Amino acid sequence: MYPAAQYSYSHDIGEFTLELEKPDRYVPWCSVDPYPSLEDRDKQLSNFPLYFDGPKPFRCTLNPGDILYLPSMWFHHVRQSPDSRGRTIAVNYWYDMQFDIKYAYFNFLQSIHCLSIKTPTLPVTVHEDSDSDA
């Protein structure tokens, strides 16, 4: 959880400052490091097996003028490579997400317990019927 805050630019000092929201509010954040260092790799694999054993990521390369659209709530990781003169630029456009039925589905999927990707079926639960004479 990270404290909710906003950056403000001060023309007087030419710098951004971080202003924490009042009253205090906290924002959940993804805890997994998709590219852990060698020192942290075992810990990350142990803490997040479903992430590392899950589907492999899509990889793409964008060229000048290309646009990549990512739907709301999609986890993503971006790496940039400079051109021959060492320049790199990226423009991100964020918009307020509509908290409609898709958000409800997302929350439902986040709330159900998944045992393992390697064991995708739920365990069979046997109920004993106390009224049965069999």
List, for residues 20-77, the tens digit of each pLDDT value.
888 888 877 777 888 889 999 999 999 988 888 887 888 888 888 888 888 877 878 8
- Weakest-pLDDT range from 10-19, 82-91, 111-120: 111-120
Domain assignment present for residue 68? The answer is yes
For residue 2, being part of any structural domain is answered with no
Provide the token pair at 110: 């986040």
User: Could you tell me what percent of the chain has a pLDDT over 70?
Assistant: 83
Q: What six digits make up the tokens of 44?
A: 């990350």
- pLDDT, residue 42, reads 94
Residue 40 is assigned to a structural domain of this protein: no
CA-CA-CA-CA dihedral for 10, 14, 15, 17, to nearest 10: -10
* Beta-strand pair 15-20/26-27: unpaired
Domain that residue 83 falls in:
62-134
In a domain, 119, yes or no: yes
Domain presence at residue 4: no
Please report the pLDDT score of residue 39 as a whole number: 93
Upper half-sphere CA count for residue 126 (Cβ side, 13 Å): 1
pLDDT value for 113? 64
The answer to the question of residue 88 being in a domain is: yes
Average pLDDT over residues 100-116: 76
Average pLDDT over residues 104-132: 63
- Mean pLDDT (the chain) is 79
- Quick one: which of 3, 5, 54, 58 has its CA closest to 29? 3
Q: What is the reported pTM?
A: 0.42
Q: Quick check: is 52 in a domain?
A: no
The letter for the amino acid at 123 is P
- The yes-or-no verdict on residue 129 having pLDDT over 60 is no
Residue 17 token pair: 């400052």
> Cα angle vertex 79, ends 30, 117, to 5°?
45
Domain count, the chain: 1
pLDDT at 127 (0 to 100): 57
